[in-house]
């Protein structure tokens, strides 16, 4: 998704902007640009379709600058549509979507304005030019009041050298300070390499960077805001070689250790009353986080403590759910900035539900919105595709499920004691990677594949399929193992790969039946199970032995070979698993 940066620095402002943009790259983008404002009030722009590295060249002078990585929504990726956009004395970068831009543009065209791009964002800079009567921040406030939709904005004004004004509504924004430099940025991880101190910016607030960071409300009143020192775990990661995704899969055991340590140090007392009295539990998330939420619903359903409803955030928002003050709403989001999940959480909050958030990014919008936040502590995740954050999300959700069972029934489920075995067992899972690598090489030319799983294995099947789709750009689908013959079996032909996950003893035979059915139709079959017996009795062509753990916890482990498989397949197919086509790390628009 688009990322914005604003920087004030007497020294190397251009270089600082470029290195911040490089830190925003992981969010996914298709063009980039910067604009610097010199002390004499000249705005100079460089913007290009493609990579941030395309902006390299003779440094642009100026002590204040703004930058942008664009993920196209309105208008194709092109030099013209790249930000910053300029009009009169103003230059602007924007993350978000302006929903009423067409009506505003119409109004401006009537007044004779000429637009150089197809973007919704360019409208804002034109409005600024019209509204400006010498008061920089005042003009920004006036324009923001006319915008519908979401935005994080950073703006330069030729009359105000050495200053940047910024605003936020519905899209993430954080301010930062370092020795000799001040920042605003879309993203905490991207800012952490540059800034030493951070200060959150809330929806509806405005920021002025000059000799200091000043935060204002919508009426122009200054708000006292304190800075917190950047924690070491907030600093963005780097890899010496290989891809971030490979490194992040290798970090799963450490992430699980850190997550568990954090959970054991977390005081759940503030949510005891809500959990004990919860009539229903709702869980909403998107993509990979949604698959983790499905496993949470499974583990709770088994304990039968109360009704659990799990849905994607985008559906929850528009389904008029019967959620109320006796309910607990759990929002799961690695970034804590996913627009649909934030809106779903706001809706649940407006109905009086108690909100629990599970996030990996400290000080994210979600962590500040909820009544009780559980920090995942998986460490920065830079590859667009989620890996270690998924394993950590599952651990957090299972831990939360154990707390809920405790508050409802007075004792913890038996499997809680085995959570501490997960990091070591995850390491043991690495033993399957040789086999998964060979499989990726064998299946390099496959046209698509299925992933099957029953009950608790089904969310893992969905996640395996999602990984293959997004980073290897191959058609892949996850199905409940009993569902294929109701339609999708028609796609199975000679050599079509079908993976099956089978970790529930009571269902070994059922899953084996599904494998036998696809094998009889020519499929190339792969079975993953912890049971030597299930594997030895299986008709599967390829058998992958998983380490042993008690049954409900398998989702944390059985996904690891699939994550690795997808990564190898992506690399072997000549793709970059860190930057999948069309995708963004942080989906800050609906």
What's the N-to-C CA distance of the chain in angstroms? Answer: 11
Residue 422 vs residues 128, 249, 428, 527: alpha-carbon distances, Å: 54, 14, 10, 21
- Catalytic site positions: 2, 585
Tokens of 130: 């019209």
Element at 37 (helix H, strand E): strand 31-37
Size of the site for ligand F6R (CB under 6 A): 14
Minimum distance from CB of 256 to ligand F6R (Å)?
A: 17
Q: Taking the complex as a whole, how short is the minimal distance between the CB of residue 121 and ligand F6R, in angstroms? A: 22
What would the x/- binding string for ligand F6R be over residues 410 to 429, using CB under 6 A?
--------------------
DSSP code at position 62: -
* Cβ atoms of 337 and 366 closer than 8 Å: yes
Instruction: Name beta bridge partners: 215.
Output: 207, 223
User: Smaller CB distance to ligand F6R: residue 288 or 503?
Assistant: 288
Tell the smallest beta-carbon distance from residue 587 to ligand F6R (Å). 5
Which listed residue (129, 341, 391, 538) binds ligand F6R by CB under 6 A?
A: 341
Q: How far is the CB of 186 from ligand F6R (least distance, A)?
A: 13
Confirm or reject binding of residue 452 to ligand F6R (CB under 6 A). no
Question: Which one of residues 31, 171, 234, 334 is an interface residue with ligand F6R (CB under 6 A)?
Answer: 334
Helix (H, G, I), strand (E, B) or coil at 394: helix
Is residue 187 a contact residue for ligand F6R (CB under 6 A)? no
User: CB atoms < 10 A from the CB of 172, how many?
Assistant: 31
C-beta closer to ligand F6R: residue 263 or 466? 466
Min separation Cβ 474 and ligand F6R, Å: 14
Question: C-beta of 6: minimal distance to ligand F6R in Å?
Answer: 23
Beta carbon nearer to ligand F6R, 334 or 558: 334
Rounded to whole angstroms, the Cα distance separating 290 from 390 reads: 10
338 binds ligand F6R (CB under 6 A): yes
Residue 266 or residue 334: which is nearer to ligand F6R going by CB?
334
- Spell out the alpha helix ranges (H) of 304-444: 313-317, 339-350, 365-369, 388-409, 422-429, 433-442
Q: Quote the CA–CA distance of 291 and 282 in Å, as a whole number.
A: 14
Q: Does 362 bind ligand F6R (CB under 6 A)?
A: no
The pairing of beta strand 524-529 with beta strand 542-545? parallel
The piece of 37-45, 298-306, 331-339, 405-413 that touches ligand F6R (CB under 6 A) is 331-339
Residue number, nearest CB to ligand F6R: 287
Question: In 3D, which of 289, 198, 185, 190 has the Cα closest to residue 237?
Answer: 190
Is residue 566 part of the contact set for ligand F6R (CB under 6 A)?
Answer: no
- What three-state secondary structure class fits 333? strand
Distance between CA atoms of 468 and 429, rounded to whole angstroms?
A: 19
User: Any contact of residue 364 with ligand F6R (CB under 6 A)?
Assistant: no
Contacting residue, 121, 234, 295, 335, with ligand F6R by CB under 6 A: 335
Task: Tell me: does residue 3 bind ligand F6R (CB under 6 A).
Answer: no
Tell me which residue of 256, 553, 554, 253 sits closest to 401, measured CA to CA.
Answer: 553
Q: Are 503 and 551 in contact (CB under 8 A)?
A: yes
Q: How far, in Å, CA of 9 to CA of 17, rounded?
A: 10
Q: Is 563 in the site for ligand F6R (CB under 6 A)?
A: no
List the interface residues with ligand F6R, window 268-327 (CB under 6 A): 286-289
Q: How many residues does the chain have?
A: 590
Write each residue from 367 to 406 as x if it is in contact with ligand F6R (CB under 6 A), else as -, in one continuous string: ------------------xx--------------------
CB of 51 to ligand F6R, least distance (A): 21
Instruction: Burial-class residue 338 by CB neighbours within 10 Å (0-12, 13-18, 19+).
Output: buried
Picking from 361, 236, 338, 343, the residue whose alpha carbon sits closest to that of residue 288 is 338
β-sheet bridge partners, residue 359: 333, 375
Q: Does 549 bind ligand F6R (CB under 6 A)?
A: no
Q: Report the residue number, 471 or 528, with the smaller CB distance to ligand F6R.
A: 471
In the complex, least distance from residue 288 CB atom to ligand F6R, rounded to whole angstroms: 3
**Contact set with ligand F6R (CB under 6 A):** 286-289, 333-335, 338, 341, 385-386, 466, 470, 587
């Amino acid at each position: 998704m688009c990322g914005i940066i604003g920087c004030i620095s007497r020294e190397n402002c251009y270089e600082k902007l470029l290195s911040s943009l490089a830190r925003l790259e992981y969010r996914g983008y298709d063009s980039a640009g910067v604009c610097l404002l010199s002390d004499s009030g000249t705005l100079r722009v460089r913007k290009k379709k493609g990579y941030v590295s395309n902006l390299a060249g003779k440094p642009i002078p100026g002590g204040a600058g703004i930058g942008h990585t664009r993920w196209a929504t309105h208008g194709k990726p092109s030099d013209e549509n790249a930000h910053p956009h300029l009009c009169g004395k103003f230059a602007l970068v924007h993350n978000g979507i302006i929903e009423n831009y067409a009506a505003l543009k119409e109004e401006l065209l009537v007044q004779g304005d000429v637009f150089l791009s197809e973007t919704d964002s360019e409208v804002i800079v034109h409005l600024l030019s019209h509204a400006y009567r010498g008061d920089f921040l005042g003009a920004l406030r006036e324009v923001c009041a006319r915008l519908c939709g979401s935005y994080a904005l950073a703006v330069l004004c030729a009359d105000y050298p050495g200053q940047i004004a910024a605003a936020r509504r519905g899209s993430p924004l954080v301010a930062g300070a370092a020795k000799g430099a001040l920042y605003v940025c879309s993203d905490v991880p991207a800012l952490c390499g540059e800034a030493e101190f951070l200060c959150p910016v809330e929806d509806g607030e405005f920021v002025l960077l000059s000799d200091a960071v000043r935060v204002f409300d919508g009426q122009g009143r200054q708000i006292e805001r304190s800075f917190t020192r950047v924690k070491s775990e907030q600093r963005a990661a780097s890899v010496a070689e290989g891809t971030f995704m490979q490194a992040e899969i290798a970090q799963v055991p450490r992430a699980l250790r850190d997550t568990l340590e954090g959970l054991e140090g977390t005081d759940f007392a503030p949510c005891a009353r809500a959990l004990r009295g919860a009539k229903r539990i709702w869980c909403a998330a998107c993509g990979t986080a949604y698959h983790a939420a499905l496993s949470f619903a499974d583990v709770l359903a088994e304990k039968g403590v109360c009704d659990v409803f799990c849905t994607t955030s985008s559906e929850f928002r528009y389904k008029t759910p019967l959620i109320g003050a006796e309910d607990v709403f759990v929002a799961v989001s690695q970034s804590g900035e996913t627009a649909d999940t934030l809106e779903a959480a706001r809706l649940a909050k407006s109905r009086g539900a108690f909100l629990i958030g599970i996030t990996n990014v400290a000080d994210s919008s979600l962590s500040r919105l909820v009544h009780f936040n559980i920090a995942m502590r998986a460490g920065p995740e830079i590859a667009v595709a989620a890996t270690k954050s998924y394993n950590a999300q599952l651990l957090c959700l299972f831990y939360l499920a154990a707390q809920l069972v405790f508050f409802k029934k007075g004792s913890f489920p038996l499997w809680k004691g085995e959570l501490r075995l997960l990091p070591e067992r995850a390491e043991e899972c690495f033993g399957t990677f040789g086999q998964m690598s060979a499989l990726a090489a064998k299946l390099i030319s496959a046209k698509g594949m299925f992933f099957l799983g029953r009950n608790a294995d089904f969310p893992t099947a969905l996640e395996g399929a999602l990984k293959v789709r997004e980073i290897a750009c191959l058609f892949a689908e996850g199905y409940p193992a009993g569902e294929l013959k109701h339609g999708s079996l028609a796609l199975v032909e000679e050599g079509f790969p079908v993976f099956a996950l089978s970790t529930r003893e009571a269902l070994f035979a059922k899953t084996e039946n599904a494998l036998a059915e696809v094998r009889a139709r020519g499929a190339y079959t792969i079975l993953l199970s912890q049971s030597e017996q299930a594997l030895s009795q299986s008709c599967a062509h390829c058998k992958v032995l998983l380490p042993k753990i008690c049954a409900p916890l398998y989702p944390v482990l059985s996904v690891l070979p699939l994550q690795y498989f997808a990564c190898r397949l992506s690399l072997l197919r000549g793709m970059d698993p860190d930057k999948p086509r069309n995708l963004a790390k942080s989906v800050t628009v609906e």
